[in-house]
Structure 1
Amino acid sequence: MLAAWPAASEPSAPKPDAPVARFASGESISESDLEAWIKNDLYDEAMRNRNDAERHGLRAEAARRLMMERLLEREEKRRGLDTAALLDELGRRAPKVEESEVKAAYEANRDRFGGRSWEEMAPGIRAELERERRNETVRAELDAMLANAGYRLLLEPPRAKLSRDGASLGAEDAPVTLVQFTDYECPYCRRAEPVVARLRERYGERLRLVVRHLPLEIHRHARPAALAAACARRQGRFFEYHAALFENPRALALPDLEARAVALGLDMNAFRGCLSAKETAKEIDADLEEAERLGVTGTPAFFVNGILLAGQQPFESFTAVIDAELARKQASR
């Protein structure tokens, strides 16, 4: 039986007057404020059939939007502008779309244009790029306004209970454990690897990394690759083999898997025997079963001290959660 992480206490129902977000000035919104703001049919539909992590994400975004409304109301009074004018002003800060960017977008999507020329498509492409850039700029400016106001989300995220099994780097008693469910044929998993490396570099001994396998059925070579990685782990070379698999995810046939093992100097008789061993298959199946129990159906998926971050995430999404966890651990001492 796999040992479980220490069970987190079940969260009690939030009190109506409990604060869910606040500014540094002390201004805050309560649980009842949030519920009153989001209670409508569209929200009810969005929340239906969602797991705890997804519901938390929707509530967190709703809290952010409500606090942003409060902040914009304050700015309206201070500057004598309505919200539409404020947003238009922020959008005008967007960097100019260069001709080279329009041409690059045209070339990247030429096959979708049905033979239409550059002259025909350029105005529409430019308009779309300008719209995207404006939206990105407005979002970034609003985020900066929230940060300057000392915005802080107080909603406690749900925490999953995970087994301790898996290849790991870092001390068992590290204050933060990052569990990664991965698939060696998944392009998003490959793109996540440099982010994970940056996290390990930034947090050092404060972060423990655990890798679990979630080979998806749509990827023909993902399970054999996971088996091979498990066999490399038996010989103490998991993370070297793990990195080698992601270097060329198109080369995952059996000869490719064996070639990597040879390059790492693994005992090939032991490696080949391990690939077909029932114990190795059971190890992968245990990871699949845990992923199913946790409601994880896609890769990559990450858990930071049990808090789910699903899909490919930017570095900043991880650091926000990890920094909050480190602060929570420090405060509890």
Structure 2
Amino acid sequence: MSETHTSPVVLDVWCELQCPDCHQALEDIRALRARYGDRLEIRLRHFPLEKHKHSYAAAQAAEEAAEQGKGWGYAEAVLARTADLASHGEKVLLEVARELGLDAEEIDTALIDGRHTLTVDADHAEGKAIGVTGTPTYVIGDERLDGGQGQEGLRERVEEIADRLLAQG
């Protein structure tokens, strides 16, 4: 008797941590997590936008937070403070790290030494290559859904695709 092992469906969320639309999208992401659990792997992908001057640093800080075991938690906490980040800059990134019990000094060092620059640049380049123009953008299966144009009905669309892909095994 063979046990069927189905790998999770992957949902890439192209996100920018100074983006109010990405903050609004968190509700959908939490609902998807609750509905699918480990059958849906939700990956944070970075797509910093030039119009938000702290978004690139925020993406790097999120990568360092992920190395410390709190990538999504950190991203969500930063997204909850997009206005703070816009007005107070990178110190907000370190405040959030401290609040979450992360090593803020290491995050600060990572921002200085640029150790996560390549990861952020690679995400951005891949996003551009597949047609991401704004955030949030969701990629599931071979479909790209642009949440930057409005998020009405997006979660339902992601669920339809996820259900179809999971049914295919």
TM-score band, normalised by shorter chain: 0.7 to 0.9
1:284 aligns with 2:124: no
Select which of 219, 226, 241 maps to 2:74.
Answer: 241
Matches within 5 A, 1:12-51: none
Partner of 1:321: 161
2:109 and 2:132 map into 1 onto residues whose CA distance is 30
TM-score (norm: length of structure 2): 0.86
Q: SS at the partner of 2:17?
A: coil
* CA displacement 1:305-326 (0-9 Å, x = unmatched): 2321122432211111111222
Unaligned runs of 5+ in 1: 1-171
Partner of 2:90: 254
1:173 aligns with 2:7: yes
1:219 aligns with 2:52: yes
| TM-fit CA distance, 1:328 | 2.6
Partner of 2:3: none
Matches within 5 A, 1:1-333: 173-174=7-8, 176-252=9-85, 253-311=89-147, 312-313=150-151, 314=153, 315-329=155-169
Partner of 1:15: none
Q: SS at the partner of 2:53?
A: coil
Q: SS at the partner of 1:223?
A: helix
* CA displacement 1:18-61 (0-9 Å, x = unmatched): xxxxxxxxxxxxxxxxxxxxxxxxxxxxxxxxxxxxxxxxxxxx
* CA displacement 1:211-265 (0-9 Å, x = unmatched): 1100111111211111111121121121221111111111121211111111122
1:262 and 1:196 map into 2 onto residues whose CA distance is 24
Q: SS at the partner of 1:283?
A: helix
| TM-fit CA distance, 1:209 | 0.8
Identical amino acids, percent of aligned pairs: 34
Code of the aligned partner of 1:320: E
Code of the aligned partner of 2:127: A
Relative contact order (C-alpha < 8 Å, sep 6+): which is higher? 2
Code of the aligned partner of 1:264: L
Q: Does the CA-based 8 Å contact 2:23-2:76 persist in structure 1?
A: no
1:304 and 1:216 map into 2 onto residues whose CA distance is 22
Q: Which structure has the larger Rg?
A: 1
Aligned residues: 157
Query: Alpha carbon RMSD of aligned pairs, Å?
Result: 1.6
TM-score (norm: length of structure 1): 0.45
| TM-fit CA distance, 1:205 | 2.2
Q: SS at the partner of 1:279?
A: coil
